[in-house]
Copies of this chain bind each other. A is one copy, B any other.
């Protein structure tokens, strides 16, 4: 199992545009990726424009498959102009 915490800094004026694109992506992930066990968008309570995606994958293969889908690449391109900084992605090893 692999965990991911993706921290995304969004331009506050573009937050609703970002959320729309991300939630559409999340719906596609849930519909198509049985190896993705959690893909939850959350928002910081203390820092404006800061989102964290809490992700859990059943395996390294499931994580790799996620990143190689056409809809993931398309969402990344669509979210790019809403970002205030480069994303920060932390990979974590599941303990079972």
Which residues of A come within 8 Å of B, CB atoms? 1-3, 5, 19, 22-23, 37-38, 40-45, 51-52, 54, 56, 91-96
Contact = CB atoms under 8 A, between A and B. Distances in A.
Number of copies of this chain that the complex holds: 2
Given A38-B37, A54-B56, A56-B38, A43 B5 contact: no
- DSSP majority for the A interface? strand
B95 A23 contact: yes
Nearest to A19: B95
27 contacts: A1-B40, A1-B42, A3-B40, A3-B42, A3-B52, A5-B5, A5-B52, A5-B54, A22-B95, A23-B95, A23-B96, A37-B38, A38-B40, A38-B54, A40-B94, A42-B92, A42-B94, A43-B92, A43-B93, A43-B94, A44-B92, A45-B91, A45-B92, A45-B93, A51-B95, A52-B92, A54-B54
